[in-house]
């Protein structure tokens, strides 16, 4: 789902009203902008519940792939099907950084495909900084769909970006997105 709506883009651009075709174009551009941001972040950013199978670490700590984590529904050891219990005096605890911590001097199994975790991670709502970037990217393509970078009248000259239709992120936007990015 896009980080902003067609109506958000219309207001951003101060456009009086969108036709049906313009609304569809706005939705496409916002979907593309959202995809560009998530590609740069190297993880989906919208909150969702995922079930993943993780290799065991052999230590007391295990990382889930996405963050921030807002809920861990189930943790199951696949070797014997044991469903673990969350709590300080139980089997494990977890942090919003996506770290599952075994309690009681225990460690996670030390083999592949050892633990199945169902957890919720991501942002709801999407941070305003990311919504702003999505709107700016969509607007830049709306205003310049051909990617023209230069035009001159005397001795006629035109120049286009080598990366046509790929909205460019500036250094500030890249820094902002990196704050929400996947762990290296």
What is the predicted pLDDT for the residue at 80? 97
Distance CA 47, CA 66 (A): 10
What is the predicted pLDDT for the residue at 165? 46
What is the predicted pLDDT for the residue at 184? 73
Helix (H) or strand (E) holding 21, with range, is helix 20-41
∠ at Cα 122 (114, 136), nearest 5°? 140
Return the bridge partners of 94, or none: 100
What is the predicted pLDDT for the residue at 19? 97
Distance CA 150, CA 131 (A): 28
Which of 126, 140, 116, 132 has its CA nearest to residue 56?
A: 116
Each residue's pLDDT, cut to its tens digit, for the chain (184 residues) gives: 899 999 999 999 999 999 999 999 999 999 999 999 999 999 999 999 999 999 999 999 999 999 999 999 999 999 999 999 999 999 999 999 999 999 999 999 999 999 999 999 999 999 999 999 999 999 988 876 555 556 667 766 665 455 544 568 999 999 999 999 998 7
pTM of the model: 0.82
Q: Tokens 């593309």 belong to which residue?
A: 32
Q: How many CA atoms lie within 13 A of 91 on its CB side?
A: 10
């Amino acid at each position: 789902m896009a980080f902003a709506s067609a109506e958000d883009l219309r207001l951003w651009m101060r456009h009086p009203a969108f036709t049906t075709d313009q609304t569809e174009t706005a939705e496409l551009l916002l979907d593309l902008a959202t995809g560009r941001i998530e590609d740069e972040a190297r993880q989906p950013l919208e909150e969702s519940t995922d079930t993943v199978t993780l290799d065991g670490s052999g230590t007391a700590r295990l990382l889930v792939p996405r963050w921030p984590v807002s809920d861990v529904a189930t943790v199951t050891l696949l070797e014997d099907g044991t469903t673990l219990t969350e709590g300080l005096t139980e089997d494990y605890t977890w942090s919003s950084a996506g770290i599952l911590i075994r309690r009681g001097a225990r460690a996670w199994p030390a083999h592949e495909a050892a633990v199945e975790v169902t957890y919720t991670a991501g942002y709801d709502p999407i941070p305003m900084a990311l919504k702003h970037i999505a709107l700016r990217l969509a607007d830049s393509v709306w205003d310049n769909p051909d990617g023209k970078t230069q035009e001159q009248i005397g001795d006629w000259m035109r120049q286009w970006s080598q990366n046509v239709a790929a909205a460019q992120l500036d250094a500030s936007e890249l820094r902002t997105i990196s704050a929400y990015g996947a762990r290296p």
